[in-house]
Every structure is written in C-alpha cells, then in structure tokens.
Amino acid sequence: KLAGQLVDPIRPGDFNQALMELGSTVCTRSSPACSACPISYQCRALLMSKGHDTNNKSREKGTNHILVTDYPMKVAKAKQRHNFAAVCVLQIRKESQPNLWKMDSDQDVFLLKRRPNDGLLAGLWEFPSVLLDKHETDSRLRRVALNQYLKRLLGIDVMKNCKVIMREDIGEYVHIFSHIRLHMSIEWLVLHPK
C-alpha cells in the first residue's frame, strides 16, 4: 500500500534509483547526513534517536541511547549447515544391449523424480537422491542407502530383480544455498530389469 503511494507507476525505476542514490550519498551507514536529508522528517531512526545527534558516535556505558547509525539492524546470519547426499543417474535399459555407449531412445530411459511441492526446490525434477548421515559418505554405504531408496521408490530390488550393466561413481558436486552446503556424490547406474 505504501509503495503504491510513493512509487510512480509509470516510472518506478526513477524512485528506486533515487533511493539508492540517497543511501549512497546522504544516508550512509557510518555517517548519515541527517540535516541534508530531504526526507529526514519521515525518518523513524532519527525520531527514535535521543537528541537527534547523529554526530555522536559513542555511547555512554549503561545507557540505552538509540543512534541513527543503529539502523538498519544487522541480523545475525545462521551458520551454514553441511548436508550430504547420494545421487543416482539411473538409466534403465529395456533390452540387455552389450554396447553400453549405444543409446536408443526406444530402449533407454532415465529416471527423474519430482520433489515435494513444499520445502527446498519445491516441485522441481531431479535424479533420485537420498540424504546421508556424515558417516555414510563412503562408496559402499552410499550404495546401500541408494539401493534401499530405489527399492522404496521403484518397488524393485536392484540386486535381485535387475541385471546391473554398469555402476560407477562419476563425481562429486557441491551446491551452495544461502543456508546449506549440499555435498553430492553422484553415481551412474545402468540397469536392465529381469
């Protein structure tokens, strides 16, 4: 509502540019020039500061004086957590072709799974993946976790109901979100259902 009153609907960029210019030249974080500010009469930080003294950079011990430079308040960033995942590029081969590199669009399919509609990366498609505990990151434990996940996802036992044509670790990748560092170990698994 306030933005609709302040911003010209025909040229909203002019307002945005003017605010950025004001912040970089007049209302700087370390030494705001409140007396030169054209909108200081609307400034809540200035109204809340005692005595409106923006030149006083120090506080007396034991006082709760509010200074203009206290705003905007910095929010402490949450510590980035590290998650680990096993990702499976699952290629299902309908015929047991001996030539691994020959792909036939009628015979080979890759499995993608849709993420839940809420949470991180909601509704996006991905290769099957499973989050791991930090102690499960070695190759053997990753494969056990992926086998269990694929059994739940597909309803088949990779080791009993399929011929494993190839299973190979193909690399690692780290995707950095604002609050998560996701370490992904990626394997390529080519199966032929029995």
pLDDT digits 0-9 by tens, 4-22 = 887 888 888 998 899 899 9
Q: Which long-range contacts (CB under 8 A, 24 or more apart) does 112-120 make?
A: 113/153, 120/177, 120/180
- The rounded distance, in Å, linking the Cα atoms of 152 and 158 is 11
Evaluate if pTM is beyond 0.85. no
Name every residue whose Cβ is closer than 8 Å to that of residue 94 and which is 6 or more positions away in sequence.
106, 107, 108, 109, 192, 193
pLDDT-based confidence at residue 55 (cuts at 50, 70, 90): very low
Class of domain 81-193: alpha beta
pLDDT-based confidence at residue 43 (cuts at 50, 70, 90): confident
Domain boundaries along the sequence of the chain: 2-70, 81-193
